[in-house]
Amino acid sequence: MDRYLLLHPDFLRYMKNRFLRSKTLDGAHWRIYRPTTGALLLLTALQLCDQVSAYGFITQGHERFSDHYYDTSWKRLIFYINHDFKLEREVWKRLHDEGIIWLYQRPGPGTTKAKN
């Protein structure tokens, strides 16, 4: 059992309401909003790890790339109301710009490579 980590639901709610507080929560569709699994995982890693690096998260210029980093053919990302990808993209950029995480990004206009 020491190889597994269980998160208390209050911790997940805290992350959703504090770090990934979407405007969707203030509207008619508030019940279906959920941060992405990747977002919850990345924020959990920030709580548990001394250093966090991430690849495959939505960044500026994301529309040029496939929905998932592991796709073998291009698939357009569809923004459904149950996730707030724009908010998550802003959070990842801010954490990267402030040196809290190292976000690996594809080179392109307005992007920066992670620090080594």
pLDDT tens-digit map of 22-68: 999 899 989 999 999 889 999 999 989 999 999 878 877 777 778 77
Return the bridge partners of 102, or none.
Answer: 53
Under 8 Å CB-to-CB from 53, ≥6 apart: which residues? 101, 102, 103, 104, 114
**Global pTM exceeds 0.85:** no
| pLDDT higher than 80, residue 110 | no
Cβ atoms < 10 Å from Cβ of 80? 9
Check residue 62 and give its pLDDT: 77
DSSP track, 75-103: ------TTS-HHHHHHHHHHHHHTTSSEE
Check residue 109 and give its pLDDT: 45
| pLDDT higher than 50, residue 111 | no
